[in-house]
Structure 1
């Protein structure tokens, strides 16, 4: 072992009674080694528990078989689905994925991008932390190919996968308006993320084009279930006659928190207030009141991004450099026609 306690190629060679070059060939070009020597080296590797130093190998070779995936919010199940799509696709093609999480922190994002560059990853898939559509920052990858996810881009050089979130916001608002709701609240901080800003644009567009008077309340909230619960508590404390009859949440996690608060306070969903989420994360259909939501193809976004990146890494030009998925409204039990005030709970 070396001074760090790590088993080295030299240790394997000594136990197998072969040269260090033979060990290297077994690791990298086993077809060049005789079966007898290869078996001796493999046996020594098993006995010593040798694990080769991938970072050092990549540094020497100047290339890597690893791709980096930088998520925006690993606690959001939607981004977990993106990661699953990326991993399933890259593993099938012989690549390995290293995943990190910026946690909606731009400095943390920069740190991970630098570390990926230092580790010589072959390419990157990044869900960037863009706080607004007017402040889209450049992804610095040190020259490695990059696919940007959840941010629509254009141009002949970059690659991107996104969702038309303006259309998604319109879908949610038009659904609520079609049910007769004339007082709607949008919950979510549009300054926290560019996709949320786009969804609110869509909601406002649907309200403006409704042809009837709609009151739209915009309630800023962090993009967490806990913030949703706090907002739900605030709405529950309002007199029934002043509460909105429908809520459109910027993401499902917010909607789940709102639903918890409403049910705890005896506010019926959808009898007293209709509730619509956004994302269609996996367990929204299993809630006590299955959630109406706007579906985003998170898994397909991941597979598409991975296919783009691996094509670029193999020297091919992707068929499409920029893909924009269309959202779909999924109607479940949390939305319904607006009820006459006399039929709503007064608490």
Structure 2
């Protein structure tokens, strides 16, 4: 590969001038800048960023680890971080742990070895020892979707307990009393908090009951299997209100209700999800959901990282918690406006 020396020789300038074109082009005359840019294009020169960051002492790359990149919520979370970093010329590399502890540990170690500027982490748990060690060795880590470890880390999260309570309180307000929560990965902090909120809402209403239906995964297919199991029950033994801990599961439950047993929503069963991902507006019956500010969470996590980079040892950890928002559509309210006219907020 062409080196910076090759570029300088081809352009007839010094190595320092090439360096200035790459890093401070505003101080180079237009003629010399054009000559260097032409030489770079002709030789196919690519700058060695690893060497540059060793010299500068700080990488231009941030690592971002999420639980499931196929879930639109996490894609939006990562996109928020990318958009915030772009204006500063910082790149974001996103890793998908797939809810696997081993993969999360591998990605954390690889990002540290690459000397990234910092790491944005949505953890499934089980890597606390490594997270703390990496942070103590000097790589800033911002926790996403959790407010734990307040003494050592900045964090950004949603009040998931409030969100779970909000979802089920809405079902109860529509007259539902036999409430089911469809969930998977019950050990996840987010899922646990949403179920706790749902339980609190039910406990506050006399005559209401709560049932936990455990799905195999937090996916559409797993939701469809859970929905089929509910549909197979006699009508009098079905829940009349269902809260799914994410919208993917809710979409699967809706498919089962609509296609397998013709359960009407919300007349027979009211259904609500969580996350308010984009296609919630265009499901068979537009899906009520609890919205999280995914993009803003990603942007905020990146901002917290830059604060920690800027202030170093003088940095004071901050914890930003977003309040979720109820979005009512036709799966719980037959009078809700068409989402093509409004987003339901």
Aligned to 2:162, the other structure's residue is in SS state: helix
The question of whether the paired residues in 2 share the 8 Å contact of 1:156 and 1:321 is answered with: no
- Distance, in Å, in 2 between the alignment partners of 1:64 and 1:136 is 24
The question of whether the paired residues in 2 share the 8 Å contact of 1:160 and 1:305 is answered with: yes
Alignment partner, residue 334 of structure 1: 331
- State the shift of 1:17 in Å: 3.6
Alignment partner, residue 96 of structure 1: 91
1:10 is aligned to 2:5: yes
- State the shift of 1:156 in Å: 4.8
Residue by residue, what CA displacement relative to the aligned partner does 1:25-68 show, whole Å, maximum 9, x if unpaired?
Answer: 43234466555443322211011221112123213432112222
Point out the more displaced range, 51-60 or 200-209: 51-60
* Counterpart mapping for 1:223-302 below 5 A: 223-265=218-260, 266-302=262-298
Alignment partner, residue 165 of structure 2: 170
Alignment partner, residue 342 of structure 2: none
The question of whether the paired residues in 1 share the 8 Å contact of 2:215 and 2:223 is answered with: no
Residue by residue, what CA displacement relative to the aligned partner does 1:196-221 show, whole Å, maximum 9, x if unpaired?
Answer: 01111111111222122424243343
C-alpha distance 107-165 of structure 1, shift in aligned 2 (>3 A): same
Alignment partner, residue 345 of structure 1: none
- Distance, in Å, in 1 between the alignment partners of 2:333 and 2:16 is 72
Q: Normalized against structure 2, the TM-score is what?
A: 0.87
Aligned to 2:274, the other structure's residue is in SS state: coil
User: Cα RMSD over matched residues?
Assistant: 2.4
Alignment partner, residue 161 of structure 1: 156
The one of 179, 186, 194 aligned to 2:181:
186
C-alpha distance 211-138 of structure 1, shift in aligned 2 (>3 A): farther
Q: Normalized against structure 1, the TM-score is what?
A: 0.87
The one of 51, 57, 63 aligned to 1:62:
57
- State the shift of 1:15 in Å: 2.3
C-alpha distance 147-14 of structure 1, shift in aligned 2 (>3 A): same
The one of 76, 82, 86 aligned to 1:81:
76
Residue by residue, what CA displacement relative to the aligned partner does 1:126-161 show, whole Å, maximum 9, x if unpaired?
Answer: 111137xxx966623442112111011353542000
- Distance, in Å, in 1 between the alignment partners of 2:54 and 2:65 is 21
- Distance, in Å, in 1 between the alignment partners of 2:128 and 2:234 is 41
| Structure 2 residue ranges without an equivalent (≥5) | 335-345
1:43 is aligned to 2:38: yes
- Distance, in Å, in 2 between the alignment partners of 1:232 and 1:117 is 43
C-alpha distance 215-194 of structure 1, shift in aligned 2 (>3 A): closer
Point out the more displaced range, 140-149 or 159-168: 140-149
C-alpha distance 242-137 of structure 1, shift in aligned 2 (>3 A): farther
- Distance, in Å, in 2 between the alignment partners of 1:42 and 1:336 is 61
Alignment partner, residue 123 of structure 1: 118
- Distance, in Å, in 2 between the alignment partners of 1:318 and 1:143 is 13
